[in-house]
Structure 1
Amino acid sequence: MQKWIFFVLFILAGALGLGVLFQDISERQDAKAAEAAGSKMQQLKIAASNWQFDSTDYTIKKGEPTKVSLSLKEGVHAIEIKGLDIKLDKENPSKEITFDKPGEYEIDCILPCGEGHAKMKAKLVVQ
């Protein structure tokens, strides 16, 4: 008799555990879907490593909300996009902005990062 009670309790506990697991997965899928719907925002991702950026030129469209983000692949860096109010570093790695004026802007590393620091530049083209 006790074996049957333990067996039923075991099955109920397993079913309860699976229910909690699938509920959590469902909630995460809903959150990802909501994030994807809200993130139709243009992305400008700048990756910095020792004395260089991952690209020499970046291009984005004007008039669209844009999330500018800095990732540090190697070393410690901070950037400034000259002519705009954008400074990113380890503490503030991203900023949302709408680029209203087309043109070319210079991206510079503003944190002395070693012997190649002076060459650490890139160009942003807003079309």
Structure 2
Amino acid sequence: MHKWVMVSLFVIASVLGIAITFTTVGQHEVVEEVEEEGTLVFKAENWKFDKEEYTVELGETLELSLRNVKGVHQLQIEGLDIELLPGEEPVKVNFDEAGTYTIICSLPCGEGHETMASTLIVQ
């Protein structure tokens, strides 16, 4: 009899656990992030950035930051001597020279690391 009581309790707990899981999965809200004026947030995930191309105006001053959506990444903008680390304070940059710059992940992040790149256009 003790065996049947334990099996019954296990089945009931399993069913409740599954029910709670499916209930909470449906309750998650999608939160849209709104960038503040004067900021540029690069979002990185395994093995890409959120945009293939970022464009800023010549003479514009922006606070740049990196947010890791998935995986662990660092960002480097080649030719501008800018490196962004996740979780660090934003870096204030005045884009005073027009050009096209390559953005790369500067932290080996896995099998797609070599192709993780984007472009920054200052016009």
Normalised by the shorter chain, which TM-score bucket? Answer: 0.5 to 0.7
- Equivalent in the alignment of 1:80: 76
Contact 1:71/1:93, CA 8 A, preserved across alignment: no
CA-CA distance at 1:117 after TM superposition: 0.3
Contact 1:57/1:125, CA 8 A, preserved across alignment: yes
The equivalences for 1:1-127 within 5 A come to: 42-92=38-88, 94-127=90-123
Q: Which runs of 5+ in 2 are unaligned?
A: 1-35
CA-CA distance at 1:93 after TM superposition: 5.1
Contact 1:81/1:108, CA 8 A, preserved across alignment: yes
- What number of residue pairs does the alignment pair up? 88
Counterpart residue identity of residue 65, structure 2:
S
Q: Which runs of 5+ in 1 are unaligned?
A: 1-38
Task: Report runs of 4+ in structure 1 exceeding 3 Å deviation.
Answer: none
Contact 2:65/2:86, CA 8 A, preserved across alignment: no
- Root-mean-square deviation (Å): 1.4
Contact 2:67/2:87, CA 8 A, preserved across alignment: no
Aligned-partner Cα distance in 1 for 2:81–2:88 = 13
Aligned-partner Cα distance in 1 for 2:89–2:112 = 22
Counterpart residue identity of residue 119, structure 1:
T
CA-CA distance at 1:85 after TM superposition: 2.0
Contact 1:67/1:96, CA 8 A, preserved across alignment: yes
- Equivalent in the alignment of 2:26: none
Identity %: 43
Counterpart residue identity of residue 83, structure 1:
G
* Distance verdict in 2 for CA 1:93–1:73, change over 3 Å: farther
Counterpart residue identity of residue 95, structure 2:
F
* TM-score normalised by L of structure 1: 0.65
Aligned-partner Cα distance in 2 for 1:74–1:91 = 14
